[in-house]
Amino acid sequence: MDVIDTRWGISSSADPAGRKRARTARDILLHATESHAGHYRGVVDEFPAQIRHIAGYHIGWWDLEGAPRRDTGKSVRPALVFACHRSLRSGTAGSTDSPLAVAAATSVELVHDFSLLHDDIMDRSRVRRHRTTAWTHFGIPKAVLTGDMMLSAAFSVLTSPETLPTNRMRTALSDSVYKLCAGQALDMTFETEPVVSLDQALQMVHGKTASLIACACELGAITAGASPELSAQAHDFGLHVGMAFQLVDDLLGIWGDPSVTGKPVGADLAARKKSLPVVAAMATKSRAARHLIEMYANPTEPADSDVADVADLVDEAGGRVWAEERIQLELSQAHQCLKGMAAPSEHTSELFSLVGFLTDRAA
């Protein structure tokens, strides 16, 4: 599936500036990591020693014994902060990211890592990023406390004298966290519901995943000095990108390669998670959909063969095709938002490259 050709109207091998798309996207992600990593590390270094150790293990800075390692996330959200910041800032300020943009990137990544830490606990997930999860080693109370401290730090970063934040930044982050928690609450409610509607599932993903990606884009716009109207366009752009990003994640959670994704194959199906492809499949009311609903209602622990059968039913009932088509729709709408932002093409090429990379991936 060639994401760039069909969704963005540009070559899969080059962005609008004529550069190699994949290399450019990786360069952007690497730049984002390098730009905010020192600040992020400085924030976590202020945590109490035991909490700092748990946070660093969860983030991927070191192993259980404290030996250094580099197994962190992709820095997707910081990259979107910086890309939107560079796309919308006025004048020619060079390639250096402002301290305010760095603070915004750090705050968003702190919220993201907090959400993963708590999500692992609530889902009883034992593996993330190719290693065992923090709560399995340090216990639930300490893992919860670590997540709480990371969330608190995210807002502290935006209230330090060096960043001179605006109320708009704090409001955007607070609104995103509220929606994230509401989305997680919906996701947990789905666990006891035999069937949920597609509208409910879309609402859950809007909150749990897309809201923070939208916030990253909005913060990037705000730090660039964009107007509230232009910042809202950046937010909506991120919302559509976030929906597409989660749909790709859902597809990988069912049909991805565990050696690449870092998660057991079919883990979401085994846990009977009602992801968007599953809910879309159930909504077709086909024979496969009815069988899928019956298998999800079975309280016994599924065998590996059962998980494979469930994946086949999701595919047969049309869940996979629906998800792929919805990705197309979300990216088309994101493209319209990007056009509405009216940023110079040499700057929006970064956003084109990033979105292509994020939605045409194996992990």
Phi first, then psi, for residue 38 (nearest 5°) are -65, -40
Residue 358 has pLDDT above 50, yes or no: yes
Lowest mean pLDDT among 164-168, 207-211, 332-336: 164-168
Residue spans per domain, the chain:
18-89+96-359
State the pLDDT at residue 267.
81
Amino acid at 231: S
Domain 18-89+96-359 has CATH 1.10.600.10: yes
For residue 238, give the nearest of 254, 222, 255, 261 by alpha carbon: 222
Query: By three-state DSSP, how is residue 14 classified?
Result: strand
- In Å, how far from its chain's centre is CA 51? 24
Distance (Å, whole) CA 332 – CA 7: 6
- pLDDT tens string 168-196: 999 999 999 999 999 999 999 999 998 89
Kind plus residue range of the DSSP H or E element containing 281: helix 276-282
State the pLDDT at residue 163.
60
- pLDDT tens string 11-45: 334 444 444 444 479 999 999 999 999 999 999 99
State the pLDDT at residue 1.
35
Kind plus residue range of the DSSP H or E element containing 154: helix 140-157
Distance (Å, whole) CA 258 – CA 156: 36
Residue 329 has pLDDT above 80, yes or no: yes
- pLDDT tens string 125-168: 998 888 899 999 999 999 999 999 999 999 999 987 666 667 89
Kind plus residue range of the DSSP H or E element containing 7: helix 3-7
- Within 8 A by CB and 6+ apart from 90, the residues are 224, 225
- pLDDT tens string 54-104: 999 999 999 999 999 988 889 999 999 999 999 998 654 455 688 999 999
Residue 323 has pLDDT above 70, yes or no: yes
Q: What is the model's pTM?
A: 0.90
Residue pair 74/36 in contact (Cβ under 8 Å)? The answer is: no
Amino acid at 141: P
